[in-house]
């Protein structure tokens, strides 16, 4: 693992050591204050280059073009919402996705590496985290080309872990609104306000390649704005859950990946 990630600055392999504990505390504090944390330089630059080299031909030939009109829930109907409620306003997404069964290599090794899950569990105050039992959804890599983005949505998992592999020249910002809803309050009017562009608590972030980013995606509305220029924005996304055996439904797999 030391050839993949910067274990000197981020000693995930030394669980319980003072360096590991300090890192966990730092990440927890950022998560509490800002709803996310970033570890810049997490992935080694050469690893990043090697991964991109491996994935480029796959993006050219076998990635799924995820292109659709959707609402923030990625669901046709939502309990308690009339079909014409502005929280169901439709937005458009276009990007290109490779699934876990098309990726392999260092990203798959990292996804399966137990100390990575243990570190994330400690930061999120969970007894343990488990890999998804879904050969496609476990981890993905997405490429956003000029004009493409991922529009407003909430994630299925409580938190989302991403690793930027390549930054675009311009655009492709990560915009987010932390705690827009809770487990007990869907805050439909707040969602409608954000979609109208009227939420002053919206924040924006431009990530550097190699940065590990973790945010509470289930209740944080987020989007990636359209990329500008010829350099694609390329990002890996890892999904873990509190219980083993989690899978996407066949309908979700079809919608996100074009196959089941």
Ligand X SMILES: O=C(O)CCC(=O)C(=O)O
Task: For CA atoms 66, 71, 74, 77, give the dihedral sign.
Answer: negative
The token duo for 51 is 């991964």
20 binds ligand X (CB under 6 A): no
> Site for ligand X (CB under 6 A): which residue of 237, 238, 253, 257?
237
CB 201 within 8 A of CB 187: no
Task: Scan for tokens 């910002």, then name that residue.
Answer: 173
Q: How many residues bind Fe ion (CB under 5 A)?
A: 2
Stretch that binds Fe ion, among 11-19, 60-68, 152-160, 243-251 (CB under 5 A): 152-160
222 binds ligand X (CB under 6 A): yes
Q: Measured from the CB of residue 168, what is the shortest distance to Fe ion in angstroms?
A: 18
Stretch that binds ligand X, among 15-23, 65-73, 155-163, 189-197 (CB under 6 A): 155-163
Alpha helix stretches (DSSP H) within the chain: 18-34, 45-61, 105-112, 114-123, 188-195, 250-257
> Site for Fe ion (CB under 5 A): which residue of 98, 155, 165, 238?
155
Grouping H, G, I as helix, E, B as strand and the rest as coil, residue 161 is strand
Nearer to Fe ion, 193 or 223 (CB): 223
Q: Map the footprint of Fe ion across residues 207-226, applying CB under 5 A.
A: 217
Smallest CA-to-CA distance from 209 within 36, 40, 4 is with: 40
**Interface with ligand X (CB under 6 A):** 142, 150, 155, 160, 162, 174, 222, 224, 235, 237
């Amino acid at each position: 693992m030391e050839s993949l990630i910067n274990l000197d600055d981020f000693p995930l392999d030394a669980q319980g050591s003072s360096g590991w504990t300090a890192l966990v505390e730092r990440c927890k504090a950022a998560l509490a204050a800002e709803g996310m944390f970033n570890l810049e330089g997490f992935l080694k630059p050469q690893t990043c280059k090697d991964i991109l080299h491996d994935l480029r031909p796959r993006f050219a030939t076998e990635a799924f073009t995820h292109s659709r009109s959707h609402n923030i829930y990625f669901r046709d109907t939502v309990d308690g919402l009339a079909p014409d409620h502005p929280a169901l306003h439709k937005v458009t997404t276009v990007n290109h996705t490779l699934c876990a069964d098309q990726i392999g290599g260092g990203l798959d090794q990292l996804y399966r590496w137990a100390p990575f899950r243990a570190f994330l569990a400690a930061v999120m105050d969970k007894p343990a985290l488990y890999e998804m039992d879904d050969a496609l959804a476990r981890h993905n890599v997405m490429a956003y080309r000029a004009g493409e983005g991922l529009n407003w949505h909430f994630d299925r998992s409580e938190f989302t872990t991403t690793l930027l592999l390549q930054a675009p020249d311009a655009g492709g910002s990560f915009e987010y609104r932390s705690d827009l809803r809770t487990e007990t309050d869907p805050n439909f009017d707040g969602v409608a306000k954000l979609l109208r562009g009227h939420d002053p608590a919206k924040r924006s972030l431009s990530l550097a390649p190699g940065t590990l980013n973790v945010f509470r995606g289930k209740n944080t509305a987020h989007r990636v704005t359209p990329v500008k220029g010829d350099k694609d924005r390329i990002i890996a996304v890892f999904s873990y859950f509190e219980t083993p055996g989690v899978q996407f439904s066949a309908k979700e797999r079809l919608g996100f990946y074009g196959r089941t």
